């Protein structure tokens, strides 16, 4: 299972890549495997400011729909529009082209609450 050491993680199986005051967010390799074939990604919170742990969208797989939880408070400044026509990219490249949103972080203190790759591995039993 792929769990890059340079990313941060949440207990809800989102990954976070922080670059200055912008965080790129997606779901982990573990999450996409648990969901199965992803057929739709919906994010209707673009340009909205949300609190940490609020739902920013949903991901739909063949047999289920799961909420996506924002790992850090901030404004959703970008949605990966390529997922509208190729949602399966989340399955094939969850940490690369399968990213979901970019967030302008409003509370950098929350970053300390994210999990390291080792902590995430322990959480999922990897």
Q: List the structure tokens of 65.
A: 């729909």
Tell me the sheet residues that pair with 8: 16
Q: What is the pLDDT of residue 1?
A: 81
Q: Model confidence over 23-46: pLDDT tens digits?
A: 999 999 999 999 999 999 999 999
pLDDT digits 0-9 by tens, 63-107: 899 999 999 999 999 999 999 999 999 999 999 999 999 999 999
* pLDDT at residue 40, as a whole number: 96
- Residue pair 30/9 in contact by the 8 Å Cβ criterion: no
Q: Return the sign of the alpha-carbon dihedral for residues 32, 101, 118, 53.
A: negative
What order of strands is seen across the sheet that includes strand 65-69? 38-42, 55-61, 65-69
């Amino acid at each position: 299972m792929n769990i890059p050491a340079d990313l941060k993680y949440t207990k809800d199986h989102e990954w976070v890549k922080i670059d200055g005051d912008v965080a790129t967010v997606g779901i982990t390799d573990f999450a996409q495997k648990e969901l199965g074939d992803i057929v739709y990604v919906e994010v209707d919170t673009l340009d909205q400011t949300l609190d940490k742990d609020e739902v920013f969208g949903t991901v739909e797989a063949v047999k289920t729909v799961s909420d996506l939880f924002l790992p850090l408070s901030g404004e959703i400044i970008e949605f990966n529009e390529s997922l509208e026509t190729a949602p399966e990219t989340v399955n094939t490249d969850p940490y690369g082209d399968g990213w979901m949103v970019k967030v302008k972080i409003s509370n950098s203190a929350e970053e300390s609450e994210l999990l390291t790759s080792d902590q995430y591995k322990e959480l999922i039993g990897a």
